[in-house]
Amino acid sequence: MRERYDAVFTLLPTAETHGHYRAATLLALEAVARLPQDQRPLFFGVEPRSNSDAPPRFAGLASQPLTATVKADPVFVFDRMASFGYRNALNYQIVVNWVIAEHKSQGLFQKDCGVHELEQFWLFRISGDGAAERADELSGALRAQKRDSATR
């Protein structure tokens, strides 16, 4: 990697994840694993879910050691329905809808519009020493940003 990244976000490579996306995550994990410990970004696997679904657990794929996570539960969860903007009239589902619109060729992906209210983030162990603390700082900064935008 020529650049120095603070964080990498990929889809969580579950057994149900499409093979191409799972492969992309595995390749990115391999690239980060080659970096010195002190230069590794936080590496997250992300999975959306509905409020009505039970939160899944993911500790990694037995056949892929690089997919091991720091814990089986997500390190943080982001609410796509969180309000922001002028008079809190907007929410982050708008951004998700933009992404879905850009992937018109993905068939059933279009049916995901408005289905998942939450994004869950698992931290991969490959992130290196001190990663859990750095992830907590990131999560805290996001919560602070949310509080600040709610008071505007």
Q: Which two tokens stand for residue 52?
A: 């009505």
**Residue 6 forms beta bridges with which residues?**
none
The mean pLDDT value for 113-117 works out to 79
So what's the pLDDT on residue 148? 64
So what's the pLDDT on residue 106? 65
Considering only the C-alpha atoms of the chain, give the largest distance between any 2 of them, rounded to a whole number of Å.
49
Residue 140, pLDDT above cutoff 90: no
Q: Which two tokens stand for residue 98?
A: 């933009």
Amino acid letter, 132: A
Higher-pLDDT residue of 111, 76:
76
CA distance 13 to 132: 20
For 120-130, write each residue's pLDDT tens digit.
999 999 999 89
Share the mean pLDDT of the chain.
87
The mean pLDDT value for 6-15 works out to 95
Q: Where are the beta strands (DSSP E) in the chain?
A: 7-11, 42-49, 76-79, 83-84, 90-91, 118-123
So what's the pLDDT on residue 83? 87
CA distance 139 to 152: 21
Q: C-alpha distances in angstroms, 113 versus 32, 122, 151?
A: 32, 23, 29
So what's the pLDDT on residue 104? 67
Q: C-alpha distances in angstroms, 124 versus 2, 42, 115?
A: 21, 8, 26
For 51-84, write each residue's pLDDT tens digit.
999 889 999 999 999 999 999 999 999 898 988 8
So what's the pLDDT on residue 59? 97
So what's the pLDDT on residue 116? 86
Structural contact between residues 125 and 69, judged by C-beta atoms closer than 8 angstroms = yes
- pLDDT band, residue 100 (cuts 50/70/90): confident
